[in-house]
Structure 1
Amino acid sequence: MIRTHSYRYLFYSGIVNGIGDRFSQVAVLTLLLQLTGSGLAVGAALGLRVVPYLLLSPLGGRLADRFHKKWLLVLTDVFRIPFALSFLLVDTKEMVWLVFTAMFVLACGEAVYQPVRKSLIATIVEKEDLVKVNGWEQLLLGVVLIAGSITGGVVAYVFGTSFAFWLNGLSFVAAAVLVLPLKRPLSSSHFEKEETKKRVHWEGWMIFVVVIQLVGATMDGAFNVLISVYGAETFHLGELGVGFLYGALGTGLVASFFFSSKIKTYGLPLCLALLIVEGMLHLLASRMANFPGLWMTFVSIALIGGVWGALLDAFLMKNMKAEDQGRVFGWMESWTNVQLGLMMFASGWFLDVFSARTLGLWGGGIGIIGGVWLLFFYFQFRKRQAFTSVEEGSDVSCRNKERE
């Protein structure tokens, strides 16, 4: 499918863009450690990447609803090129401010880029292909995680950080060029045909989708902190352990594509059930006594998370009005990334008091309890919606009889 579909240009562009960003991230963190020797500087640099999502993702979503999405992607890529190359100017401790400035601006570009990209997918992909395409998006994340992180470390080590920065700058150029042949979006009449199928109570379902995303972001915030702690400290494998665990996540995301692409019928209950399963796997990881078992559990976590992430995005794209997609995806990116950052900060504080295994236990518990409660409220809301529909139908029937 991807070989003939216009989405392929977006997919290839995303691969190049993502791998270049991973190259740069590895090189920047290495550079900061070399110049400052401070773990606080590294943490601050990573924290800066979350801040722009608070305001700029909603802005990116609004821009996507008003302007040509393809050209917005091209502009955000081109805009980031000089800032990606500005790291080349940093060679002393006094120039570290430029690292933070450039990282902040690059994160601003990414905060705008992501909701535009998601809303564009919904306008170039037929409804029946949404699950498969969102599966490709999870595959993209897995490839970037494996190829970008591992290759980025090798490139920075063998050729130096400057070479990695040049590659990142070139990756933005290549990503912008790759997206240029993208065909025009589906015609507005395509979406008009779907308007009669839109849910009357769509705003109510949106609340469920947002809360599902926030529960997932809460789990992921704790999980992101635990990756380094499990690999380096719990199992005493240092950077090698961390690298293997990131490789496990990439492997799981790649595998999730093959599972999600086979699913034909889906909805919020299936997404919630998979969220609960992921929470159980987090609990299992927190109790795992050997590293190979932990590695397999991490693969399973990424696989399940990738599947329900693809299904949830497909659900949004299928049911949301075309003119609202940019705005909604913008706010979703904002809320989930801010929640992710807050949970990472809270997890760091938590680890000063409790063990990593306890944090993993709590993180998994949040997913399980949140998923169960949401399932309960989902069926209550659905029952209430059905009851309201019956009442409205009865009122219409009565009015018709009175007229007769």
Structure 2
Amino acid sequence: MKNNVAFLKEEKKYTRFLTSVFISGVGDWFHSIAVFSLLMHLSNTSVALGITMALRVLPHLLFGPIGGLLADRFSKKKILVICDFVQALAAFSLIFVSTAEDIWMIYVSTFILMSATAIQMPTRSSSIPLLVKKENILKANSLHSTAFGIMMVLGSMLGGIVTTILESNLAFGVNAITLVIAGSIMLTTRFPKHEYDETNEKFSLKQYKVVFPLIRKVPIIQLILIYYVLWAIGGGVMNLIPNVFAFEVYGLENIGVGILYACFGIGQILGGYLSPYFEKWPKQAIAIGFLIEGIAYTFFSFSPNILVGGLMLIIALTGVSVGNTFVGTMVMQYIPEKYLGRLFSVIYTLVNVILGTTMILTGALLAKIAPEQMALLSGLLITVPAIIIGYGILKSGTLQSELVEKNM
């Protein structure tokens, strides 16, 4: 704990950046809970939920690649601030939703919010190495993971309380306020003066042509990308399973959902806390962390009660958050900064599109297949690639960023 405090005092720019991201993240969980609560209140069918889910996926396909280009070409600070304020307006608009005829406003707001998120994600990730010393990148990613877990627990809990006490649409006002605060803090964050490179080159998706040769030159990045694509299939299934288990398997309804999502957050926090202890074994941390996730999800499918199930989710998220922390650190250390936005965009776009599509399909399959069987399928879909790709990661080499730069 003392080391974290000392780090945050030393890296003041990153501290403001993380504070902004944390407040924005809490607002995101507010929004997610309030939206689904409002939809369930206004509509008795799953059609509205299905449309909303699709609108959470489509922006990643449309704007994810654009976000990578923007991050590598323009001021990251300006991009992040603008996205926060746009999201605040979109969230605030939902306070006017009161009847089923207003559901279209939820669709529009969701599309805008997720479009801004698709642009933000590669921008945020590619900002971290600009705001901390190179030797502190792992620590920054570890704290980012811990903060994500805390915001998941805190945002879900507060979102549920506020949605219960207030009307769902009033909770969106709270969401809008958090986003304005986050944007204001980011606005005062000091980014390097030359942290962007505006060129005369035409703004085009053709600028991604430099990224794919870059991926081919770093074998471990190839393997990680392949793993994430395969993981998104099993991960998409698991994203819906806790909700179904809480209602149909454990019989605890909304309380069960809250407990299981809190377990996700606790695992994320533990993973962020433990990551620095594996600093000397980054490839092992990635391979073993991903494997632990798959095995824990497999055991979750057999969990007889919420105590065992919650423990399995904590173990799973601890493992994957350790793996993800080292993946982000390795990418930031070995890939030149001017390509980071586009590289992260490729990863996030592929993962989120597959993840969202799988979630939609899983929702349909759960009407015919028992949740325990779907959970087992999810665990196996994550475990098998983790074994194969993990072995490849352990045997792979890495390239220094200078060597990559020279060969581009």
1:71 matched residue in structure 2: 78
How many angstroms apart in 1 are the aligned matches of 2:394 and 2:18?
Answer: 36
2:200 matched residue in structure 1: none
Pick closer, same or farther for the CA change 1:314–1:186 going to 2, 3 Å. Answer: farther
Is 1:348 the counterpart of 2:374? The answer is no
Task: Tell me which of 111, 122, 136 is aligned to 2:143.
Answer: 136
How many angstroms apart in 2 are the aligned matches of 1:380 and 1:177?
Answer: 45
Report if the CA contact (8 A) 2:215-2:221 is conserved.
no
How many angstroms apart in 2 are the aligned matches of 1:264 and 1:25?
Answer: 34
1:7 matched residue in structure 2: 14
Larger mean CA deviation between 31-40 and 329-338 belongs to 31-40
RMSD, aligned CA: 2.1
Is 1:152 the counterpart of 2:159? The answer is yes
Is 1:361 the counterpart of 2:376? The answer is yes
1:283 matched residue in structure 2: 298
Is 1:17 the counterpart of 2:27? The answer is no
2:201 matched residue in structure 1: none
Larger mean CA deviation between 21-30 and 220-229 belongs to 21-30
Pick closer, same or farther for the CA change 1:264–1:381 going to 2, 3 Å. Answer: closer
**Could you list the runs of 4 or more consecutive aligned residues of structure 1 that deviate by over 6 angstroms after TM superposition?**
none
Q: Which letter maps to 2:24? A: N
Q: Which letter maps to 1:77? A: D
Report if the CA contact (8 A) 1:53-1:111 is conserved.
yes
Pick closer, same or farther for the CA change 1:348–1:35 going to 2, 3 Å. Answer: closer
1:338 matched residue in structure 2: 353
Report if the CA contact (8 A) 1:123-1:186 is conserved.
no
Task: Tell me which of 80, 94, 97 is aligned to 1:90.
Answer: 97
SS at match of 1:316: helix
How many angstroms apart in 2 are the aligned matches of 1:15 and 1:8?
Answer: 10
Deviations, residues 162-183 of structure 1 (Å, cap 9, x unaligned): 4311111111211111112322
1:18 to partner: Cα distance:
1.1
Report if the CA contact (8 A) 2:29-2:156 is conserved.
yes
1:298 matched residue in structure 2: 313
2:180 matched residue in structure 1: 173
Q: Which letter maps to 1:313? A: G
1:94 to partner: Cα distance:
1.5
Deviations, residues 253-281 of structure 1 (Å, cap 9, x unaligned): 11112101222224344312221121111
Task: Tell me which of 314, 318, 327 is aligned to 2:329.
Answer: 314
How many angstroms apart in 2 are the aligned matches of 1:202 and 1:127?
Answer: 22
Q: Which letter maps to 1:55? A: L
Is 1:222 the counterpart of 2:237? The answer is yes
Report if the CA contact (8 A) 2:292-2:320 is conserved.
no
1:124 matched residue in structure 2: 131
Pick closer, same or farther for the CA change 1:37–1:331 going to 2, 3 Å. Answer: same
Task: Tell me which of 74, 94, 107 is aligned to 1:100.
Answer: 107
1:285 to partner: Cα distance:
0.8
How many angstroms apart in 1 are the aligned matches of 2:159 and 2:237?
Answer: 25
1:379 to partner: Cα distance:
6.0
Is 1:205 the counterpart of 2:220? The answer is yes
Q: Which letter maps to 2:72? A: D
1:126 to partner: Cα distance:
2.1
SS at match of 1:287: coil
TM-score normalised according to structure 1 size: 0.87
Q: Which letter maps to 2:165? A: V
SS at match of 1:50: helix
How many angstroms apart in 1 are the aligned matches of 2:235 and 2:154?
Answer: 21
1:61 to partner: Cα distance:
0.9
Q: How many residues align?
A: 374
Task: Tell me which of 390, 403, 407 is aligned to 1:375.
Answer: 390
Report if the CA contact (8 A) 2:235-2:382 is conserved.
no
How many angstroms apart in 1 are the aligned matches of 2:396 and 2:191?
Answer: 38
Report if the CA contact (8 A) 2:285-2:322 is conserved.
no
Report if the CA contact (8 A) 1:317-1:325 is conserved.
yes
Aligned 1:234-245 pairs, distance under 5 A: 234-245=249-260
Report if the CA contact (8 A) 1:78-1:173 is conserved.
yes
Pick closer, same or farther for the CA change 1:289–1:120 going to 2, 3 Å. Answer: same
1:251 to partner: Cα distance:
1.0
SS at match of 1:352: coil
Pick closer, same or farther for the CA change 1:89–1:273 going to 2, 3 Å. Answer: same
How many angstroms apart in 2 are the aligned matches of 1:275 and 1:378?
Answer: 11
1:134 to partner: Cα distance:
1.0
Deviations, residues 192-245 of structure 1 (Å, cap 9, x unaligned): xxxxxxx99634333212112223322321111111111111111111111110
Task: Tell me which of 96, 117, 122 is aligned to 1:115.
Answer: 122
Q: Which letter maps to 1:2? A: L
Task: Mark the runs of 5 or more structure 1 residues left unpaired by the alignment.
Answer: 189-198, 386-404
Is 1:262 the counterpart of 2:302? The answer is no
Pick closer, same or farther for the CA change 1:285–1:275 going to 2, 3 Å. Answer: same
